[in-house]
Amino acid sequence: MNISTVLKKFFTVMAGTGFLALGMGGIAEATTTLTFDELTSQSVDDLSFQGVNFDFKIDGIDSSDASYNAFGPGSVSYVSDPSLEGNAAGTLTLDFDTFVTELQFGVALDAFNVNVIPGFTVELFDLGFNSLGVTAVETNPVVSFSEGLFSYIGAPVKRTVVNFNDTVANRFAFDNLTFKSPNVQPAPPVPSPAPVSVPEPASGLGFLVMGALGAGSVLKDKLQAKI
């Protein structure tokens, strides 16, 4: 095996070790809760914060009529102002940077002393944006609002779409968004392999030349002994 082949195999092994190290990062889960007082009051349409990308549309058109850090029912069971407050005719979409395996939030409607069935619906989508189904959530009267809680634990969810019952309510409040998502950790350091002694090409060539000269000298001595 020549010196070029030795070097090529050595660097191939080293490169393989590097790729293996890159693929060994562990995955831990982290829980995030948004109480909607973290930012100044602003439209949630196209807002990205803490791993969530918000979108709000009315009749399929982007709308600014839903705000982060706004005010609705005050303090009730699942919603406590400030909250995300908006027009009940709109659709609120949450896209997650990675995905979530647990999800919970509260919704309050300005429906006075009314049981609303459903008060709102939630459609979940998997990593390929395939629908996992629609869940209808009932809201129950609390003070002058009607309120409900959505909770989910299951397969990974990439997108959540919330629609509100605007036939009985004009406004909604959305609060205490809690979700569990993966938190990718860096791969642990890989111990460096033991140093491999490989002669430099020039040195290797020198050893070959010296060896050849030595072999020639031995052959010459043997021929002279026979004469």
pLDDT, tens digit (0-9, with 9 covering 90-100), for 137-194? 999 999 889 999 999 999 999 999 999 999 999 999 999 999 999 975 555 565 666 5
CA separation for the pair 213, 60 (Å, rounded): 87
Count of other CB atoms within 10 angstroms of residue 102: 15
Cα(139)–Cα(16) distance, integer angstroms: 57
Amino acid at 125: F
Instruction: Tell me the CA distances in angstroms from 172 to 94, 97, 141, one per residue in order.
Output: 16, 25, 14
| Residue 69 counted as domain residue | yes
Q: Cα(104)–Cα(95) distance, rounded to whole angstroms? A: 14
**Contact present, 120 and 162 (Cβ < 8 Å):** yes
**190 within some domain:** no
Q: Which two tokens stand for residue 109?
A: 């409607």
For the full predicted model, state whether its pTM sits above 0.85: no
The count of domains in the chain is 1
* pLDDT beyond 50 at 218: no
22 lies in a domain?
Answer: no
> How far apart, in Å, are the Cα atoms of 31 and each of 83, 92, 103, 183, 216?
19, 21, 10, 9, 77
Q: How many CB atoms lie within 10 A of CB 184?
A: 10
Range of the structural domain that residue 44 is part of? 27-184
The reply to whether 219 falls in a domain is no
pLDDT tens figures, 56-93: 999 999 999 999 999 999 999 999 999 999 999 999 99
Q: CB burial class (10 A; 0-12, 13-18, 19+) of residue 111?
A: buried
Instruction: Give the domain CATH number at 107.
Output: 2.60.120
